[in-house]
Homo-oligomer: A and B are copies of this chain.
Amino acid sequence: MNPELFLMIPGPTPVPQAVLSALALPPIGHRSTDFKATLKKVYPALKKIFGAENSEVLLYTASGTAAMEAALANTLNPEEEILVLSCGVFSHRWADIANTLGIKVHLWQVDAGLGHTPEALAEKLAAYTPGQLKAVCLIHNETSTGVMNPIEALAKVVRAQQPETLIMVDTVTGLGAAEFEFDAWDIDLAVSGSQKGFMLPPGLAFLAVSARAMTRHHQVCRPGFYFQFAKQLKSQHEFSTPYTPAVSLIRGLEVALAMLLEEGLPNTFKRHQRHQKMVRAAATALGLKLLVEEDSFASASVTSVLPPEGVSVDAIRAGLREQFNIVIANGQKELLGKIFRIGHLGAIFPRDVLMTLSALEVVLHQAGYKQTPLGTAVKAAQQVYLETHDYE
Q: Which residues of A contact B (CB under 8 A)?
A: 1-4, 6, 16-17, 24, 259-260, 262-263, 267-268, 271, 323-326, 347, 349-352, 354-355, 358-359, 361-362, 365-366, 373-376, 378-379, 381-383, 385-386
A358 with B378, Cβ < 8 A, contacts A262-B1, A347-B1 known: yes
Cβ B365 vs Cβ A374 within 8 A: no
Q: Which of B271, B325, B376 contacts A351 (CB 8 A)?
A: B325
For A362, give the chain B residue with the smallest CB separation: B382
Q: Which of B6, B259, B375 contacts A1 (CB 8 A)?
A: B259
Q: Which of B323, B362, B379 contacts A373 (CB 8 A)?
A: B379
A383 with B374, Cβ < 8 A, contacts A3-B352, A351-B325, A355-B358 known: yes
Cβ-closest 8 pairs across A and B: A375-B379, A375-B375, A355-B355, A354-B358, A3-B349, A1-B263, A374-B379, A374-B382
Q: A3-B349, A375-B382, A378-B378 are in contact. List 13 more A-B contacts (CB 8 A).
A: A1-B259, A1-B260, A1-B347, A3-B352, A324-B351, A350-B359, A351-B359, A352-B355, A374-B379, A374-B382, A374-B383, A375-B375, A375-B378
- Can you list 29 A-B pairs with a CB-CB distance of less than 8 A? A1-B260, A1-B263, A1-B268, A1-B271, A2-B349, A3-B347, A3-B349, A3-B352, A4-B16, A6-B351, A24-B24, A323-B350, A324-B349, A324-B350, A352-B355, A354-B354, A354-B358, A354-B362, A358-B378, A358-B381, A358-B382, A362-B385, A365-B386, A374-B378, A374-B382, A374-B383, A375-B378, A375-B379, A375-B382
Q: Which of B17, B355, B362, B376 contacts A375 (CB 8 A)?
A: B376
Q: How far is the CA of A29 from the CA of B381 in the complex (A)?
A: 52
Q: How far is the CA of A353 from the CA of B316 in the complex (A)?
A: 20
Distance in angstroms from A286 CB to nearest chain B CB is 12
Distance in angstroms from A19 CB to nearest chain B CB is 11
Q: How far is the CA of A210 from the CA of B380 in the complex (A)?
A: 56
Distance in angstroms from A77 CB to nearest chain B CB is 43
Q: How far is the CA of A378 from the CA of B356 in the complex (A)?
A: 12
- B contact residues around A359 at 8 Å (CB): 350-351, 354
Cβ A366 vs Cβ B349 within 8 A: no
- B contact residues around A268 at 8 Å (CB): 1
- B contact residues around A361 at 8 Å (CB): 382
Q: How far is the CA of A219 from the CA of B383 in the complex (A)?
A: 66
